[in-house]
Amino acid sequence: MTIPNTLTVLRLLAAPGVAVMFLYFTRPWADWFALVLFVSAAVTDWFDGYLARLWKQESRFGAMLDPIADKAMVVIALMVIVGYSSMSPWLVLPITMILFREVFVSGLREYLGSTSGTLKVTGLAKWKTTTQMIAIAVLFSQGVFEHYFGMSVFGMDQQMVRDILTGAEEDVIGLGWKYQGWIWSGRIGLGLLWVAALLTLVTGWNYFRKALPFLTDEPDDAQGGDE
């Protein structure tokens, strides 16, 4: 257990921790804790690879566990975001595309077995993962802004809220920046999520194209069955 591998294991353990935050804490504390945990884990994704190369501690264990930890983080975080969202199709569709691709490529790698080395992680795939993690972090921050805004307007009527946001009434509680943070974090996070979804489809197609020559041969064993 080198330091790079330890960081990878901690990132894998942090993945379900993001969901657990919403089981044991109320919002917006759950959003805060999930955001901090997710960002901290995402940072280790860069450090473990960098330190492994720097200290020449690259290992088969780390190479196997690193993409699993990344996928676990992304999949669980997206499930949490969907579960606490308004189920807008603009959010659900890119998340569905991302989840479909992750399952599809994982299935390809499992089927190819010893020849799965043909599906090595590409530079574009790394950008895909980075974009996914940034989008998820921004969407978690939207939950923080949303709930602080909701707490601030509690007890106000709609006209009062409208007057404060339009400048007709003095904004003494910072309602304006909370509202803008809520709106813009949602727009930016959603935009980045669509970019990540498109990169996800492109990289998924590239992997399928590379695997296609191995899929046209007759299989050695009978197909079918789950492990």
Q: What pLDDT was estimated at residue 155?
A: 82
Give the mean pLDDT of 119-132.
81
Q: What pLDDT was estimated at residue 116?
A: 56
Q: What pLDDT was estimated at residue 57?
A: 78
* pLDDT over 50 (residue 91): yes
Paired tokens of 161 = 């809220």
Cα(97)–Cα(82) distance, integer angstroms: 13
| Strand positions, DSSP E, 128-227 | none
CB 21 within 8 A of CB 34: yes
Paired tokens of 129 = 């993962």
Q: What pLDDT was estimated at residue 121?
A: 67
Cα(56)–Cα(104) distance, integer angstroms: 32
CA dihedral 106, 56, 11, 82 (to 10 degrees): -40
Residue with tokens 């676990």: 72
Convert the pLDDT of each residue in 177-198 to its tens digit. Answer: 999 999 999 999 999 999 999 9
pLDDT mean across residues, the chain: 84
Whats the size of the chain, residue-wise? 227
Q: What pLDDT was estimated at residue 227?
A: 45
Cα(178)–Cα(193) distance, integer angstroms: 22
Percent of the chain, pLDDT > 70?
Answer: 91
Q: What is the pTM of this model?
A: 0.83
Each domain of the chain, given as residue ranges in start order, spans: 3-112+120-214
Among 44-53, 131-140, 162-171, whose mean pLDDT is lowest? Answer: 44-53
- Domain 3-112+120-214 bears CATH identifier 2.60.40: no
